[in-house]
Amino acid sequence: MSSTLIFLITFITGGLLGYLFYNMKLKKEYEKKEEIEEELVKSLKELKSYVAPKEVIEEREFSKDFDLVELALEHNLIDIIVTDEEGLTIATTIKDESDLGPKIVYIFENIIKNFPDTRKVIISKKESYLYIFKSIIGEEPIYIIFESRVMLNPVDEREVVKKIYKIVRDRYLECIRRLESLEEKPILAE
């Protein structure tokens, strides 16, 4: 009986110690992952400094949307913003850019009132070009906005828009599917 009791005590102690060590390992991996993400954001921000003007880099904090940041770096873009028809941000490379979306949507809608056949708008700024495209995901209109230091040729424009559209579509449709699955489930059982 005493050997069975000793076995159970050591078994339970071993199980608890294993569980604690496993949790500590998971916690260290999570902290390491967070550290790597922060390092990646710093590296991407440093790389972005070669593309964007220095003032833009210093005044903005970039998001952790790595797909869009990578796309921006790949095509030498300063910023990418995707908004819905009210100007609410769906995806962006800028961390806190809530007021730019509605302004750009307003500009685009005013241009469409005067020129209804408009598919895109390119605004030439002092040191960059702002591209605005209107598209549809599902049944919802969206605006794809990006800023570049150089004027892109039409082939590059289409390639950038297609890549942004694909990234946003995958996320947006995933969210819609989740919402639809929630709507199918009854909230209260009758």
Give me the pLDDT at residue 98, please.
62
CATH match for 62-182 among 3.30.450.30, 3.90.1660.10, 3.30.1050.10, 3.40.50.1000: 3.30.450.30
Residues 6+ apart with CB under 8 A from 131: 120, 121, 122, 144, 145, 146, 147, 148, 152, 157, 160
The confidence score (pLDDT) of residue 66 equals 66
**Whole-angstrom distance, CA of residue 89 vs CA of residue 147:** 16
Per-residue pLDDT of the chain (190 residues; tens, 9 = 90+): 688 888 888 889 988 888 889 989 988 988 888 888 777 777 766 665 555 555 544 444 444 556 777 778 777 788 888 888 887 888 877 766 667 788 888 888 888 888 888 888 888 888 888 888 888 887 788 888 888 888 888 888 888 888 888 888 777 666 666 666 665 555 544 4
User: What is residue 190's predicted lDDT score, i.e. its pLDDT?
Assistant: 43
Q: Is the overall model pTM greater than 0.75, yes or no? A: no
Question: What are 107's two structure tokens?
Answer: 């500009």
Domain boundaries, the chain: 1-48, 62-182
Q: Which two tokens stand for residue 74?
A: 């790949």
